[in-house]
Chain A
Amino acid sequence: MATKIKKIRRNVTLTLWEQSYVPEILRGMYITLEHFFINLWGLILEFAWSGREDRKIATVYYPEESVTPPPAYRGRPVLVLGADGNEKCVACGLCEAACPPQCISIIGAERANGERYPLRYTLDGTRCIFCGRCEEACPKEAIVMSDDWRNLCEYDRSKMIYEKADLLVPEEKLAGRLAFIRDKAFGKDRY
């Protein structure tokens, strides 16, 4: 396909018709009026007919409703709680090493059957930069970035230091993100 070359006039003196501003004003008004009537029709449809579907305006009434971010969204990092009721973390310390702001600190321990588990897993929410390196470093899919973007703020910084109990989230709630990181690591379009 031949490339289209659009000629652009630069630093030229305007013609008298252009100097009157009339054509450009009408063009601008056409654009805004088009938006106005399309949006107005969408609002009427929303009110009278089909709800939010046909509306072009993307506004979300935040405190009453909120958006669910896509799986690629990096929210609050959480620990995955397996189906057997134990955390998947084996306290290997890779996330601790990978964390750029060093917000993770782990104290490991061993169960009676020889499995390792984190006795304490502390994630400092005041330091976390939501980069997702911990998730990339983890060999057991034990720490993932959730889609939780609320509840990240506190009036007291001491409340932002999350212990293991604060971080554990059941596996099924994180299915979307887990599928996403598997696809990212092993899928066709991995990078």
Chain B
Amino acid sequence: MTLALVETAAKIAFVFGLNIGVFAPLLGWVERKQSAVMQDRIGADRADVFGFTIIGLFHTMSDTIKLIFKEDFIPRGADRIMHTAAPALALIPALVAFTVIPFGGHYTLWGHNVNLVVADLDVGALFVFAISSLAAYGVVLAGWSSNNNWSFLGGLRAAAQMFSYEVAMGLTIIGLVMFYQSLSLVTIVEKQNEFWHWGIIWHWPAFILYFTCAIAENKRIPFDVPEAESELVAGYFTEYSGMKFIMFWMAEFVEVVTISALCVVLFFGGHHLPFVTDAELISGLGGALYPNFANLAAMGIGILTFIVKVIILIFIQMTIRWTLPRFRYDQVMALGWKLVLPASLIWIFIVGVGILSGIMPRP
């Protein structure tokens, strides 16, 4: 009992540390530096500690310190409770969605079975979508409670956009669920043990559709109409300052990580190395001689593989964000309802036919 508690606490600490401690601050730096290098610039590198700049990493720290000490401003006429609650409502779902994502496999350490997922839900995929749609509340409340026209418009746009893409995003993974015959993300990852069973092999159209929907759901460029700088100042978080402002940014970055992690789990085989199954990895590391050590090493390799895959997908997302211009609002809606939704329905039909006719062999 105690062991299970310690294990769960360790996993929660790992997920929290990875998201809030590593990825969220680091992505601010990545966004700056990657965009700079892409656009033939150097990027921010002036903040230093005793003359050391470590390629601009101190900017993240100085920004955080600055934002902590800034005045926390609530505009006159704003709904104080909702205005304060909205950033938390945006950030928490993004974090909670990570609980059902397996960042490793099953390992036996000193007779204790370790499953590297915080909550092994049977309906993990549904849980992710249910929780991530809750993030819309934070955004809409932020827009509504600010008592500002820009915020209000941004909140309305965000509501419409997130609702539209929610539908399509749920439908894009139905094909995968049919293919792997499970809604549990742990089972889906287990079935991708062999490289030819990875989701991307058969389901690359679903990957493109899911990725589009996920970026739209996260309100990043090219779908950043709710916070369009040139039209709405900053959209739904125009009236936010200090730590509340940074919470919206953290929510966005954590969602970037969550999207990437979910893509890895659904399409890129989770923690699996390509062409090496878990059993082969453990026996290759000397599983017969030192089972505990081999399991521990395989666990480390699995987590590392997962993180590397997530980082590659984050890089792709950042590249998209700094490559494409913003869609017009009606184009966003037209793309969502007229293209992505029918396409995902057609893909479900194709997968159904493929499975029944035996063209797509189910793992």
A interface residues, Cβ below 8 angstroms from B? 19-22, 25, 28-29, 31-33, 35-36, 39-40, 43, 56-59
Across the interface, do A57 and B339 meet the contact criterion of CB distance under 8 Å? no
CB distance from B51 to the nearest CB of A (A): 13
Mark interface residues in B2-45 (1 if CB within 8 Å of A CB, else 0).
00000000000000000000000000000000100111111000
B residues near A28, Cβ cutoff 8 Å: 323-324
Across the interface, do A36 and B34 meet the contact criterion of CB distance under 8 Å? yes
A residues near B38, Cβ cutoff 8 Å: 32-33, 35-36, 39
Across the interface, do B323 and A57 meet the contact criterion of CB distance under 8 Å? no
Contacts A/B (CB < 8 Å), 17 sampled: A25-B320, A25-B323, A28-B324, A29-B320, A31-B323, A33-B319, A35-B37, A36-B34, A36-B38, A39-B38, A39-B40, A40-B37, A43-B37, A57-B37, A57-B40, A58-B40, A59-B41
Complex Cα–Cα for A28 and B322 (A):
10
Q: Which of B34, B40, B319, B324 has the most CB of A within 10 A?
A: B40
Kindly state whether residue B360 has any CB partner on chain A within 8 Å.
no
Across the interface, do B339 and A29 meet the contact criterion of CB distance under 8 Å? no
Kindly state whether residue B279 has any CB partner on chain A within 8 Å.
no
- Residue in B41, B324, B335 whose beta carbon sits within 8 Å of that of A25 in the complex: B324
Which residues of B, 260-301, contact A by the 8 Å Cβ criterion? none
Across the interface, do B37 and A36 meet the contact criterion of CB distance under 8 Å? yes
Residue of B nearest to A39 (CB): B37
Task: Known A-B contacts: A31-B323, A36-B319. Give 7 more (CB < 8 A).
Answer: A20-B339, A32-B322, A35-B38, A35-B39, A36-B38, A39-B38, A57-B37
B residues near A32, Cβ cutoff 8 Å: 38, 319, 322-323
CB distance from B34 to the nearest CB of A (A): 7
Residue of A nearest to B335 (CB): A21
B residues near A56, Cβ cutoff 8 Å: 40
**10 nearest A-B pairs in the assembled complex, by CB-CB distance:** A59-B42, A28-B323, A32-B323, A36-B38, A39-B37, A32-B38, A29-B323, A57-B40, A35-B38, A36-B37
Across the interface, do A29 and B41 meet the contact criterion of CB distance under 8 Å? no
B residues near A40, Cβ cutoff 8 Å: 37
Kindly state whether residue B134 has any CB partner on chain A within 8 Å.
no
Residue of A nearest to B212 (CB): A21
Kindly state whether residue B126 has any CB partner on chain A within 8 Å.
no
A residues near B322, Cβ cutoff 8 Å: 32
CB distance from B30 to the nearest CB of A (A): 12
Residue of A nearest to B320 (CB): A29
Complex Cα–Cα for A77 and B293 (A):
77
- Residue in A19, A33, A57 whose beta carbon sits within 8 Å of that of B41 in the complex: A57
Residue of B nearest to A19 (CB): B339
Which residues of B, 196-220, contact A by the 8 Å Cβ criterion? 208
B residues near A31, Cβ cutoff 8 Å: 323
Complex Cα–Cα for A31 and B41 (A):
15
B residues near A22, Cβ cutoff 8 Å: 208
Complex Cα–Cα for A57 and B38 (A):
10
Complex Cα–Cα for A119 and B145 (A):
73
CB distance from A93 to the nearest CB of B (A): 49
Across the interface, do B40 and A35 meet the contact criterion of CB distance under 8 Å? yes
Complex Cα–Cα for A25 and B339 (A):
16
A residues near B339, Cβ cutoff 8 Å: 19-20
Complex Cα–Cα for A39 and B34 (A):
10
Residue of B nearest to A33 (CB): B319
Residue of B nearest to A43 (CB): B37
Complex Cα–Cα for A58 and B42 (A):
9
Across the interface, do A29 and B37 meet the contact criterion of CB distance under 8 Å? no
Complex Cα–Cα for A57 and B41 (A):
6
Complex Cα–Cα for A58 and B39 (A):
11
Complex Cα–Cα for A56 and B322 (A):
19
Mark interface residues in B310-324 (1 if CB within 8 Å of A CB, else 0).
000000000110111
Across the interface, do A57 and B42 meet the contact criterion of CB distance under 8 Å? yes
Residue of B nearest to A28 (CB): B323
Residue of B nearest to A27 (CB): B323
B residues near A43, Cβ cutoff 8 Å: 37
CB distance from A58 to the nearest CB of B (A): 7
B residues near A57, Cβ cutoff 8 Å: 37, 40-42
Complex Cα–Cα for A141 and B154 (A):
64
B residues near A36, Cβ cutoff 8 Å: 34, 37-38, 319
Complex Cα–Cα for A21 and B323 (A):
13
B residues near A35, Cβ cutoff 8 Å: 37-40
Complex Cα–Cα for A29 and B40 (A):
15
Residue of B nearest to A22 (CB): B208
Complex Cα–Cα for A81 and B34 (A):
50
B residues near A29, Cβ cutoff 8 Å: 319-320, 323
B residues near A33, Cβ cutoff 8 Å: 38, 319
A residues near B319, Cβ cutoff 8 Å: 29, 32-33, 36
A residues near B34, Cβ cutoff 8 Å: 36
